[in-house]
Amino acid sequence: MLNKLIANMLPYMPKKLIWVFSKRYIAGETIEEGLLASKLLNEKGIEVTVDVLGEFITTLDEAEANMHEYFELIERFTNEGVKGNFSIKPTMFGLLIDKDVCFNYIHEIVALAASKNSFVRIDMEDSQCVDMEVEIFKKLRSEFPKNVGLVLQAYMRRTISDLEDMKELNTAASPINFRLCKGIYVEPESVAFKGYEEVRANFLAGLKYMFENKMYAAIATHDKYLVDESLKMIGEMNIPKNMYEFQMLYGVTPELRQSIVDDGHLVRVYVPYGIKWFRYSTRRLKENPKMAQHIIKALFIRG
């Protein structure tokens, strides 16, 4: 209860204090820091997917600036040989302001990545965005079948039917590439499963569907039960290594992550960086309110 209260106060706390706890989850503010964190992960045999923080925009000028930031990111990371790809949030490119402009900006980003033989993952945002993000993905996939992927959220009731709907896009030459995660936004029961076990069950049902239909699965979870069940499914269904990977967020469950790497599976870490780290951090800290205890301790220490 107290933890939750403190978590809700986070946005009003001094930025410097929040940073003490956020640095675990964020590579830094600059592209150099994003590069450094990614190279250090590469040295441990881990690949990355890099995200520029900045989902909260109100003008198309900001959307255009975000596109240019991704251009720089893609140029720098591919030129410097970082093993990894890129994640984007469509709202950062104006999805909720003008969806055609947003599509054009994302198209430019994916075209640049494709020219470098790289890959862009479209993150899935809250339920008002899902139809539009599926549509953007479908259009881009027809032009860049090897260079673009989407996220599906296991808490959404529609996820299996989205998979069925997109099955026709799948080909052996370019398997459709989905990241499967639980889903992070607060959604009404009418669209999302609310029970912990229900979400887990839908996650495994979605994963099974992807494997049965020869789609590429990026298994994004820190839930040990789901990691173990996924590994069991991979073994039982004899899924080849080029058809799946595991994904985790920067700074979360590094021991579990390392155990998967040590077992010989590909792991990719989602590396966020950027000056807009504050909103991202307060959301991460709210997900894990126990950390708020440390914040209040630090408040006292700072007097």
Ligand X SMILES: Cc1cc2nc3c(=O)[nH]c(=O)nc-3n(C[C@H](O)[C@H](O)[C@H](O)COP(=O)(O)OP(=O)(O)OC[C@H]3O[C@@H](n4cnc5c(N)ncnc54)[C@H](O)[C@@H]3O)c2cc1C
Q: Which residues sit at the interface with ligand X, rule CB under 6 A?
A: 123-124, 151, 153, 179, 181-185, 220-223, 247-249, 252-253, 270, 284, 287-288
Task: Tell which residue, 109, 230, 235, 217, has the closest CA to residue 170.
Answer: 217
**Shortest approach of ligand X to residue 172 CB, angstroms?**
26
Instruction: Given the residues 121, 141, 162, 179, select the one marked as catalytic.
Output: 179
- DSSP label at 192? B
Smaller CB separation from ligand X, 279 or 302: 279
Residue 189 near residue 230, CB atoms below 8 Å: no
**Shortest approach of ligand X to residue 251 CB, angstroms?**
7
Instruction: Given the residues 121, 123, 162, 200, select the one marked as catalytic.
Output: 123
Residue 205 near residue 160, CB atoms below 8 Å: yes
Smaller CB separation from ligand X, 8 or 115: 8
> Which alpha helices (DSSP H) does the chain contain, by range?
2-9, 15-22, 31-43, 60-79, 99-115, 127-143, 159-166, 196-212, 224-236, 254-262, 277-287, 291-301
**Shortest approach of ligand X to residue 228 CB, angstroms?**
12
Smaller CB separation from ligand X, 172 or 186: 186
Residue 269 near residue 249, CB atoms below 8 Å: yes
**Shortest approach of ligand X to residue 123 CB, angstroms?**
3
Amino acid at 164: E
Whether 123 sits among the annotated catalytic residues: the reply is yes
Whether 121 sits among the annotated catalytic residues: the reply is no
Smaller CB separation from ligand X, 186 or 301: 186
Residues classed as catalytic: 123, 179
